[in-house]
Chains A and B, each alone.
Chain A
Amino acid sequence: MASKSVAKKLKRKTSRGPSANGAQAAPAKWVGQPIRRKEENRLVSGRGIFVDDEKMPGMLHIKFVRSSYPHAKIARLDVSQAEKFPGVVCTLTGAEIKKQVQPFIEIGPGGAQKIADYPMAVGKVVFQGEPVAAVVAETRLAAEDAAELVEVDYEPLQPVVTAENALKDESLLHPAMGTNRNWHGVFTYGDVEKAMKQAAHAVHIGRLHFHRFSSTPLECNVIIATWDPRSGDIEYHCNNTFPSFASQFLSPALGVRIDQIHMKSFDIGGGFGIKITSYPYMAVCALASRKARGRAVKWVETRIEHMQASAHGNERTFLDTRVALDKNGVVLAIDSKHVDDCGAFPRYEPLGCVIWAQVLPATYRVKNIRIDMHQVVTNKCPVGPNRGYSRMQHLWFMERILDICGQTLGIPADEMRLRNYIRKNEMPYKTPNGCVYDSGDYANMLSTAKKLIGWDDWKKKQAAARKEGRWIGLGIGSTLDSGTNNFGQARIINPDAPFSGQSKVGIVKLDIYGEVVVSMGSVPQGQGHETTAAQVVADALSITPDLVNVRPGFDTAHNAYTGHTGTYASQFAVTGLTAIHGAAMKLRKELSRLAAWKLQAKEKDLEFGVGAQGPEVRVSGTQKSINYWALANLVNVNNAGMPESLWDITLNCRHVFHANFQIPDVKRKYGNLTLTYAAQIHTAVVEVDRETFQPKILAYACVDDCGKAVNPRIVEGQVHGAAAHGIGAALLEDCAYDSDGNLLTATFSDYTPITAVNMPELLYAHTESPSPFTLNGAKGMGEGGAAPVHTICSALQDALYPTGVIIDDSHNTGDSLFRAVQKAETGGYAGMVQVEHRRPSR
């Protein structure tokens, strides 16, 4: 499947800015250096600008009244007492805003188009925490006091809590849709049945479940909305991390032209994806501002609101999995039914129903795959993209298959992976569904991860410990962080979806006094974009990163956006930096032309660099030079006498990055869905205490390969963060609902996000497989594919194998392991894994 022509084609066509003669950048000097982050000083010395720091003249505060029921009819809603409360300016109810807005766009086809998703509950509530009314007041305290006076009577309806129950359609969340199943499609590649017949071993695996967890950014959602009655424009100061997506939802819902929505974000205290779906709250804040005659309205989400009603990650159940393997344990085919649970409204969904297919075969060579994919709505918080979005669920499923089959056949976890990994010499590798894995050497990464943790030593220790009756397990998690998505995959979800491809904008200009200023088409939330952007521009202009002034945050007014603009899907290193590089190279070309005229030299004789008077352009081998101040001066304030041939020079250069994507073949569900594939291979040693059942991580190693690391220090930081998030998800964090649909983990005391005391020491190594498709060979990274979830499950499986426990859930606690061992002792896992050997295995 290796396809050099694919590589060539993508390499040639992916845009990376002009490569004009005389304007070529010198070889990379700053890209690849672990320089300290430019934003660090500002942030650690309290000079960060977060939305809640902003105060507008006459600003009001909004408090939401939220449903305590997961599924209920609103029988009566009375805001009259709240409206009389001193300091209250107005209230809003679902019934009222229904008259003022259109329901949000639904991405899903067919019946899903009939879902009426309003930003507040209209007539009925469908999840606990759903806003039913809002109170707008002069102070936050008054708003909170008055909100308690809003009276709501509910008539409870039967809650739908699990995906399997949702499929029964006994109680419907959105009756107009006629079902709770909002999406269904079969992804089938190769010949699964033929492979099943040829298999030496057929393994049937019962129900597996990937739990619902979320991100816990330090900063919750915050919005300030001002709907100016004079211009009709809406100004948002907010921390939404995909503003272009949000405005495409808000514009039709609110009935304003999209250019009337002005969005600004500055520093953001973490996002991890789940701030993408804050747009319903943005809509309410704007409506509140309009009702308050254009006064600014601020909403600062509380942690409980965040846990209840912002967004959770997707929960997925894997049913009736059949795996065909050859006599050596090589996986030949996989057939399974997956039911994704997107909560009460499909907001970014059902995109998750295809996004997993970016990593269809995971890191493995398996060619015959059939996944019967369903998505259902349930009376739980709507999901939003959550770090590792939709791919991690599938990767976990694939890793469980490898481990369960390996143990069933008596093949060690490392050996099982080596036999199945895609080989280095097969890269770029075309997957059965037409994706192209750009580069990677998984076997080498595994070998590095094993060395790092001391795998062979631990194997010996494990054998000795087992004799003492201890439960120690070694685990491997192989995962992919697919980045730079092709929005064309939405067509697989809905053939009428009017979007495809991927793009980002960068603007690099020389301001009047010659400062290099970068406006980014990204929305950084801690990823260090200011630093990496400065590294790229420094190389492009042969200057130093400290001479590059990168504007933090996103601002519509910078005009550095397309409809794809945001920070999501592990891509800035590719899309954002390539756009910025392209803009910087355009600027270099302009500077080169200008300097050639002024210095009366040929462009090819010019050099760029930093001189005694700052950044400059000089004539090679002479004393002749002109600095950036003088060049900017010529264009901006001193341009009499400039020849007409230079009048096109603006020193304000905008470049749009385009990835070379095609629209996928919708019928076959086939096409290139993502540009780059960073990989993470983790190893762990976990002991389950035989008396307390507490899982203890004895050793943990992360090996990351994101191609060329633009800034290795930032990459390592991202790996640490993603590892902590994943370890938290594996052992602590769970958005748990009871059978009545009550969220049991609405506070940190119950959700227990991971803290430093839970973290093992992380051993870390970076391997570098440059992407052939990108500038500098970098790949997007940072999501991390939830590698620790796979790795810890793998280690737990290994540790508890002697007990008969099958790790069938992605979330494992002392309590759940205690119950699992009890279940195993009473034969509860009988039939969970069934194997049929057709020929003797080697």
Chain B
Amino acid sequence: MYAAAFSYHRAASLQEAVKLLQDLGDDARIIAGGQSLIPLMKMRMTRPAALIDINFIPGLSEIQNSKGELRFGALARHADIEDSSVASAIPIVHDCATGIADVQVRNQGTIGGSLAEADPSGDWGTALLALDTTVVCFGPGGRHTVPFEAFIKDAYTTVLAHDEIVTAVHVKMPPKGSGGAHLAFKRSAPVYPTVSASVQLTLEDHNTCKDVRVILGCVGLTAIRAKEAEAAVRGKSLSEKNIQAASEAARAAAEPQSDMRGSAEYKRALVATLVKRAIAIAARRARGEHAEAGHEYVGR
């Protein structure tokens, strides 16, 4: 399996990368970790005429806790985030990083690349929507930021212009009393989840949900924010009945398609269950309890 011929360009700076994008035209693509792009090229499902490698641009891999934000350089590898004590300040981020594909992909794949790829099944696209996330981009006009809610427009489509690049991802630290969980069902290690769900909620008085976000992954053209599910618990107690209502609302909000991962109807059932479980885990974490969350696999 060989990709169709392409030219390779190594950018030394963001400015150079942008210039290369402009010079090389629409058939040029940025390569970061390459974990989606290279397999697609080898299958010849995509045929960029040129690749612009940004891996050698300095300063794009840092993971920092700064000014109430976790700041991830676009080239931060999933495995670096998984292992980062800084990143573990937001448990949902750790949940997400730990279960992305397999070890090889996590060692190579990047958070920026994952967001720019905008795969509807991508874990980051789901988990980061549950938080206040800002995408930092660089283009001909310099640096600018885009709220993550506005970043992904459609499946495999972002607001980035051809000559713009993701340089960092900033995630606001959730307030005290907030907890989150990212859950996903996967068949085996290297594949995308069948369904994923992220919940971040803030409690007051131990069991009243002051604020919440419920995000569904793999069940639409983009990650879906299930606002009806949020409404079912926001400002209310996290009673079994209210959680059940949120779970049912999430089931209704999902727009899954049948494929080898499962039938649409089954995926809806998974959505309902994952949301219910994610709310429960998020609530326990919000209360400061330890609770495991992450990816679950067939068989074990």
The segment from A50-58, A140-148, A377-385, A391-399 that touches chain B is: A140-148
Give 27 pairs: A residue, B residue, CB < 8 Å, sorted on A.
A145-B4, A302-B1, A304-B43, A689-B273, A691-B272, A692-B185, A692-B274, A692-B296, A697-B299, A731-B299, A732-B188, A732-B299, A736-B260, A744-B260, A748-B190, A748-B191, A752-B191, A754-B299, A755-B190, A757-B188, A757-B189, A758-B188, A758-B189, A758-B297, A813-B262, A814-B266, A818-B263
Residues of B within 8 A of A696 (CB): 299-300
Render A752-770 as a binary contact track against B, CB cut-off 8 A, 1 for contact. 1111111110000000000
Establish whether residues A141 and B269, one from each chain, have CB atoms under 8 Å apart when the complex forms: no
Please tell me if A472 contacts chain B, counting CB pairs below 8 Å: no
Nearest B residue to A734 via CB reads B260
Please tell me if A499 contacts chain B, counting CB pairs below 8 Å: no
Could you tell me the distance between the alpha carbons of A753 and B4 in the complex, rounded to whole angstroms? 28
Nearest A residue to B296 via CB reads A694
Q: A145-B4, A759-B299, A813-B262 given as contacts; is B188 within 8 A of A691 (CB)?
A: no
Q: List 7 extra interface pairs beyond A748-B190, A752-B187, A755-B189, CB under 8 A.
A: A145-B5, A692-B185, A692-B273, A694-B296, A732-B187, A815-B263, A818-B265
Residues of B within 8 A of A757 (CB): 188-189, 297, 300
Establish whether residues A749 and B190, one from each chain, have CB atoms under 8 Å apart when the complex forms: yes
Residues of B within 8 A of A154 (CB): none
Could you tell me the distance between the alpha carbons of A732 and B190 in the complex, rounded to whole angstroms? 13
Establish whether residues A815 and B262, one from each chain, have CB atoms under 8 Å apart when the complex forms: yes
**Interface set, chain B 1-26, CB cutoff 8 A to A:** 1-2, 4-5
Could you tell me the distance between the alpha carbons of A641 and B269 in the complex, rounded to whole angstroms? 89
Please tell me if A829 contacts chain B, counting CB pairs below 8 Å: no
Tell me which of B1, B270, B300 contacts A692 (CB under 8 A).
B270
Residues of A within 8 A of B189 (CB): 755-758
4 smallest A-B Cβ distances: which pairs?
A758-B299, A815-B262, A755-B189, A691-B273
How far apart are A145's CB and chain B's nearest CB, in angstroms?
Answer: 7
Render B188-208 as a binary contact track against A, CB cut-off 8 A, 1 for contact. 111110100000000000000
Residues of A within 8 A of B272 (CB): 691
A residues contacting B by CB (< 8 A) are 140-141, 144-145, 148, 302, 304, 689, 691-697, 727, 731-732, 736, 744-745, 748-750, 752-760, 813-815, 818-819
Could you tell me the distance between the alpha carbons of A818 and B189 in the complex, rounded to whole angstroms? 22
Please tell me if B27 contacts chain A, counting CB pairs below 8 Å: no
Q: How many A-B residue pairs have CB under 8 A?
A: 96
Residues of B within 8 A of A754 (CB): 188, 299
How far apart are A819's CB and chain B's nearest CB, in angstroms?
Answer: 7
Q: A744-B260, A755-B189, A815-B262 given as contacts; is B269 within 8 A of A140 (CB)?
A: no
How far apart are B100's CB and chain A's nearest CB, in angstroms?
Answer: 13
> Which one of B102, B187, B269, B272 has the greatest number of beta carbons of chain A within 10 Å?
B187
Count of B interface residues, CB-CB < 8 Å: 32
Establish whether residues B260 and A693, one from each chain, have CB atoms under 8 Å apart when the complex forms: no
B residues contacting A by CB (< 8 A) are 1-2, 4-5, 43-44, 102, 185, 187-192, 194, 260-263, 265-266, 269-270, 272-274, 276, 296-300
Could you tell me the distance between the alpha carbons of A805 and B297 in the complex, rounded to whole angstroms? 23
Nearest A residue to B270 via CB reads A692
How far apart are A449's CB and chain B's nearest CB, in angstroms?
Answer: 19
Establish whether residues B190 and A818, one from each chain, have CB atoms under 8 Å apart when the complex forms: no
How far apart are B282's CB and chain A's nearest CB, in angstroms?
Answer: 17
Establish whether residues B192 and A749, one from each chain, have CB atoms under 8 Å apart when the complex forms: yes
Nearest B residue to A144 via CB reads B2
Residues of A within 8 A of B43 (CB): 304
Establish whether residues B298 and A695, one from each chain, have CB atoms under 8 Å apart when the complex forms: yes
Nearest B residue to A760 via CB reads B300
Could you tell me the distance between the alpha carbons of A759 and B266 in the complex, rounded to whole angstroms? 24
Establish whether residues A691 and B260, one from each chain, have CB atoms under 8 Å apart when the complex forms: no
How far apart are B117's CB and chain A's nearest CB, in angstroms?
Answer: 15
Residues of B within 8 A of A736 (CB): 260
Tell me which of B185, B194, B260, B299 contacts A695 (CB under 8 A).
B299
Nearest B residue to A747 via CB reads B43
Nearest A residue to B262 via CB reads A815
Establish whether residues A815 and B266, one from each chain, have CB atoms under 8 Å apart when the complex forms: yes
Establish whether residues A140 and B299, one from each chain, have CB atoms under 8 Å apart when the complex forms: no
Q: A749-B190, A750-B260 given as contacts; is B2 within 8 A of A758 (CB)?
A: no
Tell me which of B4, B261, B269, B296 contacts A693 (CB under 8 A).
B269
Nearest A residue to B4 via CB reads A145
Could you tell me the distance between the alpha carbons of A818 and B276 in the complex, rounded to whole angstroms? 18
Establish whether residues B188 and A814, one from each chain, have CB atoms under 8 Å apart when the complex forms: no
Establish whether residues B5 and A758, one from each chain, have CB atoms under 8 Å apart when the complex forms: no
Residues of B within 8 A of A748 (CB): 190-191
Residues of A within 8 A of B194 (CB): 814
Establish whether residues A749 and B185, one from each chain, have CB atoms under 8 Å apart when the complex forms: no
How far apart are A146's CB and chain B's nearest CB, in angstroms?
Answer: 12
How far apart are A730's CB and chain B's nearest CB, in angstroms?
Answer: 9
Could you tell me the distance between the alpha carbons of A577 and B236 in the complex, rounded to whole angstroms? 73
Could you tell me the distance between the alpha carbons of A760 and B299 in the complex, rounded to whole angstroms? 7
Could you tell me the distance between the alpha carbons of A749 and B273 in the complex, rounded to whole angstroms? 24
Could you tell me the distance between the alpha carbons of A742 and B240 in the complex, rounded to whole angstroms? 45
How far apart are B110's CB and chain A's nearest CB, in angstroms?
Answer: 20
Could you tell me the distance between the alpha carbons of A302 and B43 in the complex, rounded to whole angstroms? 10
Tell me which of B185, B191, B192, B298 contacts A731 (CB under 8 A).
B298
Residues of B within 8 A of A818 (CB): 263, 265-266, 269
Residues of A within 8 A of B185 (CB): 692, 694, 814
Could you tell me the distance between the alpha carbons of A731 and B263 in the complex, rounded to whole angstroms? 16
Residues of B within 8 A of A745 (CB): 260
Could you tell me the distance between the alpha carbons of A696 and B263 in the complex, rounded to whole angstroms? 20
How far apart are A214's CB and chain B's nearest CB, in angstroms?
Answer: 15
Establish whether residues A814 and B299, one from each chain, have CB atoms under 8 Å apart when the complex forms: no
Residues of A within 8 A of B190 (CB): 748-749, 755
Could you tell me the distance between the alpha carbons of A592 and B225 in the complex, rounded to whole angstroms? 84
How far apart are A99's CB and chain B's nearest CB, in angstroms?
Answer: 31
Nearest A residue to B260 via CB reads A750
Could you tell me the distance between the alpha carbons of A602 and B65 in the complex, rounded to whole angstroms? 87
Could you tell me the distance between the alpha carbons of A727 and B297 in the complex, rounded to whole angstroms? 13
How far apart are B223's CB and chain A's nearest CB, in angstroms?
Answer: 19
Q: A141-B5, A756-B189 given as contacts; is B300 within 8 A of A813 (CB)?
A: no
Residues of A within 8 A of B187 (CB): 732, 752, 813
Residues of B within 8 A of A732 (CB): 187-188, 298-299
Establish whether residues B262 and A727, one from each chain, have CB atoms under 8 Å apart when the complex forms: no
Establish whether residues A755 and B188, one from each chain, have CB atoms under 8 Å apart when the complex forms: yes
Could you tell me the distance between the alpha carbons of A753 and B185 in the complex, rounded to whole angstroms? 16
Residues of B within 8 A of A753 (CB): 188
Tell me which of A141, A691, A727, A813 contacts B2 (CB under 8 A).
A141
Could you tell me the distance between the alpha carbons of A750 and B261 in the complex, rounded to whole angstroms? 7
How far apart are B56's CB and chain A's nearest CB, in angstroms?
Answer: 25
Q: A691-B273, A732-B299 given as contacts; is B102 within 8 A of A755 (CB)?
A: yes
How far apart are B292's CB and chain A's nearest CB, in angstroms?
Answer: 15
Establish whether residues A814 and B300, one from each chain, have CB atoms under 8 Å apart when the complex forms: no
Could you tell me the distance between the alpha carbons of A819 and B276 in the complex, rounded to whole angstroms? 21
Establish whether residues B260 and A694, one from each chain, have CB atoms under 8 Å apart when the complex forms: no
Residues of A within 8 A of B4 (CB): 145
Residues of A within 8 A of B273 (CB): 689, 691-692
How far apart are B280's CB and chain A's nearest CB, in angstroms?
Answer: 12
How far apart are A763's CB and chain B's nearest CB, in angstroms?
Answer: 15
Tell me which of B263, B274, B299 contacts A727 (CB under 8 A).
B299
How far apart are A366's CB and chain B's nearest CB, in angstroms?
Answer: 32
Tell me which of B2, B263, B276, B297 contacts A140 (CB under 8 A).
B2
Q: A752-B191, A756-B189 given as contacts; is B269 within 8 A of A692 (CB)?
A: yes
Residues of B within 8 A of A302 (CB): 1
Could you tell me the distance between the alpha carbons of A748 and B270 in the complex, rounded to whole angstroms? 23
Could you tell me the distance between the alpha carbons of A141 and B5 in the complex, rounded to whole angstroms? 9
Residues of B within 8 A of A140 (CB): 2
How far apart are B219's CB and chain A's nearest CB, in angstroms?
Answer: 14
Nearest B residue to A300 via CB reads B1
How far apart are B40's CB and chain A's nearest CB, in angstroms?
Answer: 11
Could you tell me the distance between the alpha carbons of A744 and B194 in the complex, rounded to whole angstroms? 16
Could you tell me the distance between the alpha carbons of A304 and B260 in the complex, rounded to whole angstroms? 16
> Which one of A693, A697, A756, A814 has the greatest number of beta carbons of chain B within 10 Å?
A814
